[in-house]
């Protein structure tokens, strides 16, 4: 197998970003509930007494703990995915998959052009690949990340490297950049 010297960036997906936000929100809710309870206990500023103060504190702390738990879990799950792919890439654990075709789809993006329309749809393209697991012979179908232009005229090979996480065979990364023509790679970047 070919060893690639370049460094690939495997970023967090939406799940990891949402997890980080939920973690921060959970901590903020717990701190807010605790701060209000302490301030009210010391100064009596909010007028919360006895059972009402306890219920208020339990609601805020409970919501905060729940958000913290789910946020950490989502973030760590996505970080585990990223670490597995990075490790597979650095140790050159890949198979060459046959390019089966290009799948056309749509995605949407909030538009700042006109506040009344709000959403703008555009075409996306993903490259579908097929390969058999060398260890088990099990067939796999995988897809590249979304591209914002048709890569049909840019693909320079009939096979593409697919990196496989050894701990999770469903965690795959199709390295589509390896088979796109060098001078045309940047034309597939997202355009506003």
pTM tops 0.85 = no
* Per-residue model confidence (pLDDT) at position 49: 77
Q: Taking the alpha carbons of 94, 100, 105, 111 in that order, is the dihedral positive or negative? A: positive
* Angle at which helices 50-90 and 14-43 cross, to 10°: 150
> Which segments of the chain have a pLDDT < 70?
1-10, 108-120, 182-192
| Distance, CA of 3 to CA of 7 (rounded, Å) | 11
| Distance, CA of 36 to CA of 71 (rounded, Å) | 23
Question: Could you state, in order of their start, the residue ranges of all structural domains in the chain?
Answer: 14-90, 94-188
pLDDT in tens, 71-106: 999 999 988 888 888 888 888 888 999 999 999 887
| Distance, CA of 5 to CA of 14 (rounded, Å) | 28
Q: Strands of 119-132's sheet, edge to edge?
A: 139-143, 119-132, 94-110, 159-165, 168-174
CB-based contacts of 129, cutoff 8 Å, min separation 6 = 97, 98, 99, 100, 141, 142, 143, 144, 160, 162, 174
108-147 core/surface letters (b: 16 or more CB in 10 A; e: else): eeeeeeeeeeeeeeeebbbbbbebeeeeeeeebebebeeb
Q: Are 31 and 67 in contact (CB under 8 A)?
A: no
- In degrees, rounded to 5, the angle at the alpha carbon of residue 24 between the alpha carbons of residues 21 and 33 is 135
Q: Are 117 and 98 in contact (CB under 8 A)?
A: no
Task: Give the closest residue to 173 by CA, choosing from 101, 113, 94.
Answer: 94
pLDDT in tens, 99-123: 999 998 877 655 555 555 555 677 8
């Amino acid at each position: 197998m070919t060893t690639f010297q370049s460094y690939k960036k495997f970023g967090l997906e939406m799940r990891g970003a949402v997890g980080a936000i939920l973690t921060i929100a959970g901590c903020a809710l717990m701190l807010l509930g605790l701060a209000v309870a302490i301030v009210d206990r010391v100064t009596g500023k909010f007028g919360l007494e006895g059972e009402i103060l306890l219920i208020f504190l339990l609601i805020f702390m409970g919501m905060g703990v729940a958000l913290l738990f789910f946020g950490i879990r989502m973030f760590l799950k996505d970080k585990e995915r990223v670490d597995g792919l990075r490790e597979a890439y650095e140790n050159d654990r890949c198979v060459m998959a046959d390019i089966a075709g290009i799948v056309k789809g749509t995605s949407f993006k909030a538009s700042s052009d006109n506040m009344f329309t709000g959403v703008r749809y555009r075409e996306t393209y993903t490259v579908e690949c097929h390969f058999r697991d060398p260890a088990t012979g099990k067939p796999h179908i995988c897809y590249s990340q979304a591209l914002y232009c048709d890569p049909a005229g840019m693909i320079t090979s009939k096979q593409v490297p697919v990196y496989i996480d050894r701990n999770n065979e469903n965690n795959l990364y199709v390295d589509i950049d390896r088979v796109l023509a060098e001078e045309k790679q940047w034309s597939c970047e997202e355009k506003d």
